[in-house]
Structure 1
Amino acid sequence: MFDLPLAPRYVLPPAILIAFCTLLMLPPVQELLLFNRELIEQGELWRVWTSQYVHTNWMHWLLNVIGIGFIWVLHAEYRTPKTYAIHLLLLGLWTGIGIWLLCPDIRIYTGLSGLLHGVIVWGAIKDIKVGERTGILLFLGILGKLAWEQYAGPSAEVGALISSRVAIESHLIGAVGGMVLALPLLWQKK
């Protein structure tokens, strides 16, 4: 059996993220913050970043909450609350800018999953760096998932659940962001 990271410094950051994403489910707020390429082109630049924290529906929200919980169990002890916040902010911006620049076909976008892919990749690299044997398996698993998504395309079943096409591009962009964010780990001594 393993110990869950239940200290407040480990529980509060993901709890705050979940609460924040829950508040953003309010329809008027959601509509104001989602990635809408046309409105961004008209100057509503905040949508590039804020779209990472809103969801299409409650099932979409729930799937991402499960992802937050999974990451909390695996890697909560690697981040201080400040580092957690910085990672969320940077990966949200990275993913939004990546979608803006690299995915011109995406007109409307919402979701936390791209950012979460970055967070989990960073955690897998940290696992490897500290000698956690499962780190390489996690890293290879994420790479395999990303490769499969790029080959097979978005899941129609998940798309039906979230009432939107799964933006697999955001997963890849977020994962690359997690790798970039992990570069300083490579120079740290164990």
Structure 2
Amino acid sequence: MVNLPIQPRYILPPLCLMVLSALFALFSLNDSLEFNRQLIEQGQVWRLISSQYVHTNWAHLGLNCAGIILIWALHAEHTKPLVYGAHTIVLATWCGICIYYFCPDIEIYTGLSALLHGVIVWGAIKDITVGMKTGWLLFFGIWAKILFEQLEGPSAQVSELIASNVAIDAHLIGAIGGVLLAIPLIFKLIKKRQA
């Protein structure tokens, strides 16, 4: 029997993230919030963060909401609401800044996928630290997906569905952010094994 984390403290944070993104889509706020390199260079620096929460279309939002639900099912019990919120804001900031500095070919960017790659990598590492062997499978699985994307390029079908290029370098940036976010967990695991 599947034991899903259905208590309000586990449901509300991912639900808030989905509702926020849906509201941005409903009110068509992309023009004001998307990563637009030219406008960021003119001083609209909020776009580095806000771009992570807007989407090219409803299909794009739907795919990212499916990712949020998957992560909720796998890792909701690992975080508290404030930690979840802090993780998403830290990862959104990390992803936006790194896309700006390390992906000069990206002029326009939207979507939660980079941030979600970071959240799932953090969750896999948390799984490992609490002794769940599936954490290793998830950790190596996400890195295999990222490696495949880097070698083969973005999925043409997904690009067509979301009406935009899939920013595979942003996925890599997000996953690296997840590892960095998990450094305290890694140190704790190392100390535990040395004891």
1:72 aligns with 2:72: yes
Query: In structure 2, how many angstroms separate the alpha carbons of the residues matched to 1:41 and 1:97?
Result: 12
Match of 1:183 in 2: 183
Counterpart amino acid of 1:58? W
Match of 1:85 in 2: 85
**CA root-mean-square deviation:** 1.0
Match of 2:149 in 1: 149
Query: In structure 1, how many angstroms separate the alpha carbons of the residues matched to 2:149 and 2:106?
Result: 16
Runs (4+) off by over 2 Å: 187-190
1:26-175 → structure 2 map (5 Å cutoff): 26=26, 28-175=28-175
Counterpart amino acid of 1:10? Y
Query: In structure 2, how many angstroms separate the alpha carbons of the residues matched to 1:26 and 1:133?
Result: 41
Query: In structure 2, how many angstroms separate the alpha carbons of the residues matched to 1:145 and 1:179?
Result: 16
Counterpart amino acid of 2:31? E
1:141-180 deviations in whole A, cap 9, x for unaligned? 0010000000001111100000000000110000000000
Deviation at 1:27, TM superposition (A): 5.1
Deviation at 1:117, TM superposition (A): 0.1
Match of 2:25 in 1: 25
User: Does the residue aligned with 2:182 lie in a helix, a strand or coil?
Assistant: helix
Counterpart amino acid of 1:60? H
Counterpart amino acid of 1:127? D
Query: In structure 1, how many angstroms separate the alpha carbons of the residues matched to 2:34 and 2:184?
Result: 32
Aligned length: 190
Deviation at 1:29, TM superposition (A): 1.6
For structure 2, the 5+ residue unaligned runs are none
Deviation at 1:71, TM superposition (A): 0.1
Query: In structure 2, how many angstroms separate the alpha carbons of the residues matched to 1:170 and 1:90?
Result: 15
Query: In structure 2, how many angstroms separate the alpha carbons of the residues matched to 1:143 and 1:164?
Result: 23
Query: In structure 2, how many angstroms separate the alpha carbons of the residues matched to 1:122 and 1:83?
Result: 12
Identity percentage over the alignment?
57
Q: TM-score, length-normalised on structure 1?
A: 0.98
